[in-house]
């Protein structure tokens, strides 16, 4: 017979598990709180140039897009938001890219307080680092490198923008664009009353702007683990397996994306450009499509095949521990290797003369299935609300999940239900489906099983 005290103890134990401050919960709810805070600030009347509140739903959408470094927008960033609004957006982008733990770490540095174990674990999880050893020192170095790269990028971009806009405005735009590019956010400040949502379409023939932006995007998308490894081990052969896979897949995706865009668009929207600028714009879109969301070519005029390639690149994304979304390059690479191993009749998945653990392969499959399910669910919601055709809605869903920000042009006209669905998709895409799942479950670590069920046979394929 159950005693009342026993039932109370069971309830308290369950409650303690639910509300335990795990790294996954700290990350997920940290992003959620930051989005809500940004919503309140952006909903203020003086955040807009016209002095009127944008409304809670659109403020929430913009805040979520900023924190999740996505770049999908319902209003043109430059023409709608006031200086205060742009500062809020830029701050949300920077914090969202580095992770909510950047605020905690910075606060601890300023106050001299020591971070606890749970906070250190959250930092480790947020940058996808291998161990807790010197994690705070490493994170401080990440902050320094981030600000240094953004500063250098702003100085180079200023060579273009200061002559065009004057010193003060040119410098401000350079800083905003550099941060947005490195954080892979895709927010631009180049729109005007006569031409909104233009992104970088005015810089098709500007190698300085496009190559600098592309370099910032790539550096932000490689991830902090890769930076550390490349700086410590200059030679490719000495680098960790993770770094080798990220660099290899980044190169493959950049080259293949460039070639495919050239193939499909050289006779289309890039037809009037000289060959060097065709290559430049194809390369830029190959870089931006995986994570950043800037565009120099009109997406609504691109070939359906090009848009499908863009969807695939957005779904893959960049590296773990970076500012990008998607299933990540390492996940995609592991899935390909698993297929190759099966076709060759091998039990082990191998890469660069190293065996990949079975649990890593299982995690890659889980990420792929959960991510695909999320994108398809979002697509169905948009279709139910008659937001556009199949390709347009799939494009928008993949962009939100991959935190890319490229748009088929339907985002500004979405109904509130569709906007909320995209907000959820952006948040889950930023923190990762596995982290989001762990934040809402009581499972801690791997479940210990003391028995094995009898093997059964089924037919697949």
**Residues 66-119: tens digit of each pLDDT:** 999 999 999 999 999 999 999 999 999 999 888 766 666 665 655 666 666 666
Domain range summary for the chain, segments of one domain joined by +: 19-437
Low pLDDT (below 70) residues in the chain: 1-21, 100-136, 442-450
* pLDDT at residue number 125: 63
Environment class of 129 (CB within 10 Å of its CB; exposed 0-12, middle 13-18, buried 19+) = buried
CA nearest 422: which of 369, 371, 378, 372? 378
List the beta bridge partners of residue 350.
355
Q: What is the structure's pLDDT at 15?
A: 45
pLDDT digits (tens, 9 = 90+) for 120-135: 666 666 665 666 666 6
Report residue 244 CA to chain centroid gap.
21
Distance of CA 256 to the CA centre of its chain: 21
Query: CB neighbours of 343 closer than 8 A, spacing ≥ 6?
Result: none
Q: CB of 396 within 8 A of CB of 383?
A: no
Beta carbons within 8 Å of 413's beta carbon, 6+ residues apart: 387
Q: Report the candidate in 261, 295, 100 with the shortest Cα–Cα distance to residue 186.
A: 295
Say what the pTM is.
0.89
Closest CA to 84 of 126, 117, 53: 53
Residues 6+ apart with CB under 8 A from 332: 249, 316
């Amino acid at each position: 017979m159950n005693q009342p005290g026993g039932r109370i103890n069971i309830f308290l134990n369950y409650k303690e598990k639910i509300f335990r401050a795990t790294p996954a919960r700290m990350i997920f709810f940290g992003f959620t709180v930051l989005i809500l805070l940004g919503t309140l600030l952006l909903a203020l009347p003086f955040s807009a140039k016209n002095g009127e509140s944008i409304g809670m739903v659109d403020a929430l959408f913009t805040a979520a897009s900023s924190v999740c470094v996505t770049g999908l927008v319902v209003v043109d960033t430059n023409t709608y938001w006031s200086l205060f609004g742009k500062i809020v957006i830029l701050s949300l982008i920077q914090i969202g890219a580095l992770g909510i733990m950047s605020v905690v770490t910075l606060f601890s540095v300023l106050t001299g307080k020591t971070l606890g174990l749970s906070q250190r674990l959250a930092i480790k999880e947020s940058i996808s680092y291998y161990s807790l050893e010197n994690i705070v020192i490493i994170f401080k170095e990440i902050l320094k490198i981030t600000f240094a790269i953004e500063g250098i990028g702003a100085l180079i971009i200023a060579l273009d923008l200061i002559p065009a806009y004057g010193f003060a405005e040119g410098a401000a735009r350079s800083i905003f664009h550099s941060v947005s590019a490195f954080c892979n956010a895709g927010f631009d400040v180049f729109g005007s009353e006569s031409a909104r949502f233009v992104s970088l379409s005015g810089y098709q023939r500007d190698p300085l702007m496009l190559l600098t932006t592309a370099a910032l995007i790539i550096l932000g998308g490689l991830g902090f683990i890769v930076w550390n490894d490349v700086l410590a081990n200059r030679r490719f052969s000495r680098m960790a397996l993770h770094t080798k896979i990220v660099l290899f897949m980044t190169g493959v995706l950049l080259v293949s994306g460039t070639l495919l865009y050239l193939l499909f668009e050289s006779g289309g929207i890039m037809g009037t450009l000289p060959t060097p600028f065709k290559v430049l714009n194809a390369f830029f879109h190959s870089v931006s499509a995986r994570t950043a969301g800037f565009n120099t070519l009109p997406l609504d005029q691109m070939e359906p095949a090009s848009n499908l390639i863009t969807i695939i690149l957005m779904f893959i994304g960049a590296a773990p521990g970076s500012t990008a979304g998607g299933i990540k390059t390492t996940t995609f690479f592991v899935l390909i290797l698993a297929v190759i191993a099966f076709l060759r009749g091998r039990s082990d998945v191998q890469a660069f003369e190293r065996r990949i653990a079975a649990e890593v392969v299982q995690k890659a499959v889980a990420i792929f299935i959960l991510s695909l399910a999320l994108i398809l669910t979002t697509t169905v919601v948009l279709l139910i609300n008659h937001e556009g055709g199949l390709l347009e809605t799939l494009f928008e869903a993949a962009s939100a999940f991959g935190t890319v920000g490229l748009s088929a042009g339907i985002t500004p006209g979405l109904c509130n239900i569709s906007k909320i669905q995209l907000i959820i998709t952006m948040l889950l895409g930023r923190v990762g489906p596995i982290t989001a799942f762990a934040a809402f479950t009581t499972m801690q670590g791997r479940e210990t099983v003391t028995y094995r069920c009898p093997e059964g046979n089924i037919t697949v394929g």
